[in-house]
Every structure is written in C-alpha cells, then in structure tokens.
Amino acid sequence: MKYKSKEAPKEQKESKPNSSTDSVISAPQQEESYLKISLVNQGVFFRRKKTCPLKNIDISEINYKNLNLLNKFISERGKIAPRRITNISLQKQRAISNAIKKARQLSLISAIGKEANQN
C-alpha cells in the first residue's frame, strides 16, 4: 500500500509541465538516469593480498650491522615504521625493531632522525 501511494505523486508530476526548463523529462527517463548513476557509484574493490617485502631475506640476516636494510624502516624523524605500513611479517618486524634499537645503542644509527646525520 505504501508503494502505491508513492506512485501517485509521480504521475501527477508528469502531467504538470515545468516552466523553468525548456524540455520536460518524463519520470521513467529520470529513473533510468538515476539508476545509471547509482550503478556507476557502486564500486567494487579488490584488495591485493599483502606479502612480506622481505620474504627472500632470512631472519638471521636482519641484524644491527645491516644499516642499509635498517634505514629503510626508519622515518625521517627517527621512528620505526609500523608493521601495518611496511607489511612485514611479525617475526621479521620484531627482528628489525630489535636490530634498530641495538644499532641506536651502539650509535650506528642516530636516535634523533635522518636529518641529524646530514647536519
């Protein structure tokens, strides 16, 4: 019953010409254009499976001496990049964070950040 009551005003709108526009668009044409817009806006997202960028590197190779590798996971301010951003596996993220901390204690890496090394 509610559906029928909604249809009645649409038929009344069709019979009234719209003075503000030159061409009058009928209700079925309006519905078609509305349906096309709604179908276009409904996007389908495919997420790619996250893989570890260090899958070819063994955990034993991640140590405080490998500064080139460690610098990739440190931000400009000297913070360790989180796992959700780097997509590293849990064990390798722990190994990297421990290696960075050990390299900081031995002052191989600046604790302040990368900008401090350049000055």
Range with top average pLDDT, 8-22, 26-40, 42-56, 91-105: 91-105
What's the chain's average pLDDT? 75
Examine the pLDDT at 36 and tell me if it is beyond 50: no
Domain count for the chain, please give it.
1
pLDDT value of residue 46: 63
Confirm whether 23 is domain-assigned.
Answer: no
Burial class of residue 103 in the structure, from the number of CB atoms within 10 Å of its CB (0-12 exposed, 13-18 middle, 19+ buried): buried
Phi, psi values for residue 116, rounded to 5°: -70, -30
Question: Whole domain around residue 107: which residue ranges?
Answer: 59-118
76 lies in a domain? yes
Model confidence over 43-85: pLDDT tens digits? 656 667 778 899 999 999 999 999 999 999 999 999 999 999 9
